[in-house]
Structure 1
Amino acid sequence: MTGTRPVVPPAQIPHRDLLQLQVLPDENQIRADIERLRKEKNAVILAHNYQRPEVQGIADFVGDSLGLSRQAAKTDAEVIVFAGVHFMAETAAILNPQKVVLLPDLRAGCSLADTLTAQGVRDWKARNPGGLVVTYVNTTADVKAESDYCCTSGNAVQVVQSLPEDTPVLFAPDRFLAAHVIRETGRQMDVWDGACHVHEAIRPEDIQGQQAAYPGAELLIHPECGCSTRVLSAIPGLQLYSTEGMIHRAQASDAQTFIVVTETGMVTRLEKDVPGKTFVPVSRTACCEYMKMITLENIRDSLQNLQPRVTVPGAIRERALVPIERMLAIG
């Protein structure tokens, strides 16, 4: 209105509790601290393929769940720092009851593992006497303790092929990996209705968009992806690959550009192990927030304090060790 004075809000009194100033971390110093502590503590750092690039860069070994399990089983280190998620650290603790197993951030869980409980497995076994339970390694220790076999995406087909015929089988918890195994083996199984929230959200449209942007690029698709069935119907004969299988395929292929249909962290591993080729993430949003909870800073802090530590009760550990060892023996 003409002639009126503008309304001026009252002065705000700064709320100092909301102002949390921190000195920006010196990444070089953190790396140096990790190197020093690694030697002092006789520690090994194991990192999953989906970890941040800088975390993969300081790890002693980077790999998939099967590779990390093998490394955890044979390490001579007294301390294992697991740059991954909780079930992976549990698996390392099951294989190494006398060692200190650290998970730098205990909030690093797994949406897929959360879909299955030990009671759910027991209920299925009660309805199927004599049946066999195959669980993806992406499960908690108490679920593994109820299982007959564990598997990873890299050896799920081989594990199921090793089972006696005419025996009821439950495959849990990933329904998309189960569909891949059923296609490859022809084996009918009961399937748990679980999925990884990252892989489930990848759509065929995401793939089509990247194919339009990168004509002629080869697809590297993980069997956990919810889009895999529709993509396979459109491209008969297309192979699905575990994360480790993606490395081998990219090395052997004549293609120079690849669309990586899994969590974005896999691009870092591919660029390191297959230099000179181009790797395009299927979607920038295909990112696991749980995996990304592990940082250089909390790795350093966990080495410094030997915390947070992951342990598994003895009775559960002994039972869970059986299906894990069967998984490792099959390959």
Structure 2
Amino acid sequence: MSASTLTTQATVDIPDTGLHGPDSEWAEEVRALARKRDAVILAHNYQVPEVQDVADHVGDSLALSRIAASSDASTIVFCGVHFMAETAKILAPEKTVLIPDERAGCSLADSITADQLREWKAEHPGAVVVSYVNTTAAVKAETDICCTSSNAVEVVDSIPREKEVLFLPDQFLGAHVRRELGRENMQVWAGECHVHAGISGTQLTAQAEADPDAELFVHPECGCATSALYLAGTGAVPADRVKILSTGGMLDAARATGAKSVLVATEIGMLHQLRKAAPDVDFRAVNERASCTYMKMITPEALLRSVRDGTDEVHVAPELAERGRAAVQRMIEIGQPGGGGE
């Protein structure tokens, strides 16, 4: 089996809770309730600005999970999607992990199941399984080593070249790794993030032509990553202006850039942190509609409800957690993924 049936984005009705809106009073109440619950609030870079600004820590999924594991707080409130909260629970099984809305899923994580992975492994006996951290706990339990977008090349390169590699689930990140390493014995699962896949090469090319002096920050999950490299290869855009980066890598590049404008190909929530990191730079989304409904389910109202009422708690079966933990810990040992993961 070389492909999966891709999961499309669900339409979810989010109820009006009647709770406070995202103002200073709301922020003070959230922080006070978090202190009362002995909770640390973690927010992914793709969250709405109000949630990012009230959080104790903002970052990529792995960096936040590592913070969860090392925090002295007894409760983790993870403002992200479900696989991220699961990863935090895997790394910190003794802590209570809450996600403000348990319906916040992920089309990429849903693009392969544990059963599908077991079938794929059976077709390639002896292959080493490398799973992107954007996977469920059940898939991580069937994995030899996880990776982030920032250390995927290093992780695969650490595997003896004579060993076949099964890389999952993101086909665009897998193609990027295979291209970087020239590794022919690497099989890539045909999964994708519906948001990143929807950022097209046509959109990127048109914007790059309209602003030829702009730098391009492109997440490797994007369908336009190949187009970005093509623009660099043909000289349409200077090669040093095209950067294939994880979200953490984008922040590092933003602080270092000398460009006046940057075109950003990833989920639009990332713009908030980029603008804070380099307020004098004009950051613009390649696709302004690249917004993840699942990420945006973590509303200010949902966060308030979570710290007030303890909703929704995340559980991972101990046996799955133990097996998945081994794959995540192997990832952490390779490179420095904490600041530049998903």
Contact residue 175 and residue 195 of structure 1 kept, 8 A = yes
Q: Which runs of 5+ in 2 are unaligned?
A: 1-15, 234-238, 337-342
2:113 maps to which of 113, 117, 139 = 117
Q: Aligned-residue CA RMSD in angstroms?
A: 1.6
Displacement, 1:214? 3.2
| 2:11 corresponding residue in structure 1 | none
SS of the equivalent of 1:235 reads helix
SS of the equivalent of 2:167 reads strand
| 2:312 corresponding residue in structure 1 | 308
Cα deviation per residue 1:237-295 (whole Å; 9 max; x = unaligned)? 44311111111112222112100111101110101122221111111111111001101
Report how many residues are paired. Answer: 312
After TM superposition, the score normalised by the length of structure 2 is 0.88
Contact residue 121 and residue 146 of structure 1 kept, 8 A = yes
| 1:259 corresponding residue in structure 2 | 263
SS of the equivalent of 2:243 reads coil
2:27 maps to which of 15, 28, 31 = 31
Contact residue 64 and residue 244 of structure 1 kept, 8 A = yes
Runs of 4 or more above 6 Å deviation: none
Displacement, 1:27? 2.5
| 2:85 corresponding residue in structure 1 | 89
The CA distance in 2 between the partners of 1:51 and 1:199, in whole Å, is 15
Structure 1: which amino acid aligns with 2:170? D
Cα deviation per residue 1:199-227 (whole Å; 9 max; x = unaligned)? 11111222233334434111001100011
Pairing 1:146-185 to 2, within 5 Å after superposition: 146-185=142-181
After TM superposition, the score normalised by the length of structure 1 is 0.90
| 1:219 corresponding residue in structure 2 | 216
The answer as to 2:102 corresponding to 1:106 is: yes
Structure 1: which amino acid aligns with 2:174? A
Structure 2: which amino acid aligns with 1:269? Q
1:235 maps to which of 229, 232, 236 = 232
1:208 maps to which of 205, 213, 221 = 205
| 1:195 corresponding residue in structure 2 | 192
Contact residue 70 and residue 328 of structure 1 kept, 8 A = no
The CA distance in 1 between the partners of 2:258 and 2:79, in whole Å, is 33
Greater relative contact order (Cα < 8 A, sep 6+): 2
Of 81-90 and 214-223, more deviation after overlay is shown by 214-223
Q: Which runs of 5+ in 1 are unaligned?
A: 1-19
% identity of equivalent residues: 51
SS of the equivalent of 1:223 reads coil
| 1:7 corresponding residue in structure 2 | none
| 2:136 corresponding residue in structure 1 | 140
| 1:9 corresponding residue in structure 2 | none
